[in-house]
Chain A
Amino acid sequence: MFRDSSIIRWRNYSDRYMLEGYECTNCGKKYFEKKGMCVCGSLDFNNLSFCGKGKIVSFTKIHSGPEVFQEQTPYCVGIIDLDEGARITAQIIDSKYKDLSIGQEVEAVFRKFYKSGEKGVIHYGTKFRPKF
């Protein structure tokens, strides 16, 4: 299904793998995700590379995950404010859940997400860990 599609991941290569986003040329608002129209109404964006540093806004530990994440369950997912001003959803790793807190500084790392079946491709992307 769609979670097995390597084409989807190829299409989102820049944001998934490189943590690239967009900055509105009119008002300067920054977005992690591809976006049709800025809140100011502008349709013009420049590409932007995020430095990968940010702070946790909220987080949770998932104890019952979807099919492709069965091997990793339980795992932690959070919402993170990137230092440049955009907000991103990502897994938070390399930390005990009880040691995490809202406002904690985190940094991006490139990690394996999941494998699509026996013969499928391995999907990668960006996760975050507590700042060293």
Chain B
Amino acid sequence: MNVGVLGIGITKFGERWDQGLRELLLDAQVKSLKDANITADEIDALYTGNMGGGSLSGQLHVGAMASENLNINKPAIRVEGACASGSLALRQGILAIESGEADIVQVNGVEKMTDVSTEQVTTMLMGAGDEELEGFNGLTFPGLYALLAKAYMTKYPALTRDLLAEVSVKNHFHGARNPYCQFRKEITIDTVKNATMVADPLTLFDCSPITDGAASIILASEEKAKALGSKVSIVGSGVGTDSLSLARRNTLTAIPAGKIAAKIAYAQAGITAEQVSFAEVHDCFTIAEIMAVEALGFAKEGEGYKLYENKDTYFDGRIPINTSGGLKACGHPVGATGIKQAIEATMQLRGTAKDRQVKNAEIGVTHNVGGSGATAAVHVFKKVK
């Protein structure tokens, strides 16, 4: 597989009361077009990741909204896979090019979350789990990951409360160095530990926030990308799935779908975990990042904590994780997150990440999870030499 990244565009993430779903989406779309230096009529197809348009804005049909925004009449599809919607849209864009149907594709992700109450957002997000088996019992999204954290930390007590907090501390450190990030502020372990409890053992600072934002990326066939001077290629795309509900899983101490997706993507790219320069992973909750680095093969199951003992995951460390600030600091506009990860990987490989630039970045991996692990998508990005 070889699909070029031609252009990237992202809005500022945060509480964007001034902009609605459409305006956010348009902003990112126009930015990626400009960055790719192409015109809208050169796009052959559009894919847009979005989860809550229907329940939070009363707006579905976001696929056609994206083509309408650019005044084109090309095939346009909305893709939904909960918090992995963005990466699933990216994959559809890749497949459209790989199939020969399209030469240039625009893939977007958008979420407008702050127009409604936290309780309404909580209910919408729980749609990513099993509504009948979990939601009806009052389980929330943080609650699902709290159940995973409790099971994991009971089986692997080496992951202490302080080391779990390090995930959030590190992501805020990176976020402070990222201009499109929602929370550009460094925090300490005490900030995490002393914050309001959301679902034991997870506090407010273990949880990714409610965010508005959009992100857009333009993909091109290998030939077209070469002709237009693309510096980054996508060389692997894997998706794994599992049960919607935690009770149906074989394990509560790992997210197997992530491991399945990584195996497929690494095989396509012809790489091993040791060759990866950096990764953007799905830290919707601190425990999820620990499970992510294990799924991606940077640590064995139960040993992910070791990467957080000596700043190994900082941008200048051995295996930098979430240089964008992750979902925790950068924000988590659900449908946009997968595309944001792809944009951060592209910036790192282009060498334009400035204050958080990873040295000698050659291969970057993105890891995006939907629900409590019912969907996981992994993509491998490579610097073009």
| Contact surface of A with B, Cβ cutoff 8 Å | 2-3, 8, 12, 16, 32-33, 57-67, 69-70, 72, 75, 77-79, 87-91, 97, 102, 113, 123, 125
Contact = CB atoms under 8 A, between A and B. Distances in A.
B200 A97 contact: yes
Nearest to B117: A67
B59 interface: no
Given A33-B132, A58-B151, A77-B143, A64 B118 contact: yes
9 contacts: A62-B139, A62-B142, A65-B119, A66-B138, A88-B247, A89-B247, A91-B138, A113-B136, A113-B137
Interface in B209-265: 245-248, 252
A90 B197 contact: no
Contacts of B151: 57-58, 102
Range, interface on chain B: 35 or more
A79 B247 contact: yes
Interface of B: 118-120, 122-123, 126, 131-140, 142-143, 146-148, 150-151, 154, 196-201, 245-248, 252
Sorted nearest first, the 6 A-B pairs with minimum C-beta distance are A60-B146, A58-B151, A87-B247, A67-B119, A69-B138, A58-B147
B198 A64 contact: yes
B126 A66 contact: yes
A86 B165 CA distance: 34
A72 B140 CA distance: 14
Nearest to A123: B136
B196 A2 contact: no
Contacts of A79: 147, 246-247, 252
Contacts of B126: 66
A64 B247 contact: no
B247 A61 contact: no
Given A32-B133, A58-B148, 9 more contacts: A3-B136, A8-B132, A62-B143, A65-B140, A66-B123, A69-B138, A77-B143, A89-B137, A91-B138
Contact of B137 (A63, A77, A87): A77
A75 B138 CA distance: 8
Contacts of A33: 132-133, 245, 248
A59 B138 contact: no
Interface centre among B120, B122, B138, B245 (most CB of A within 10 A): B138
B140 A89 contact: no
A29 B120 CA distance: 37
B150 A64 contact: no
B252 A67 contact: no
Interface centre among A3, A65, A79, A90 (most CB of B within 10 A): A79
A19 to B, nearest CB: 13
A63 B133 contact: no
Contact of B123 (A3, A32, A77): A3
A65 to B, nearest CB: 6
Contacts of A78: 147
Contacts of A102: 150-151, 154
A125 B138 contact: no
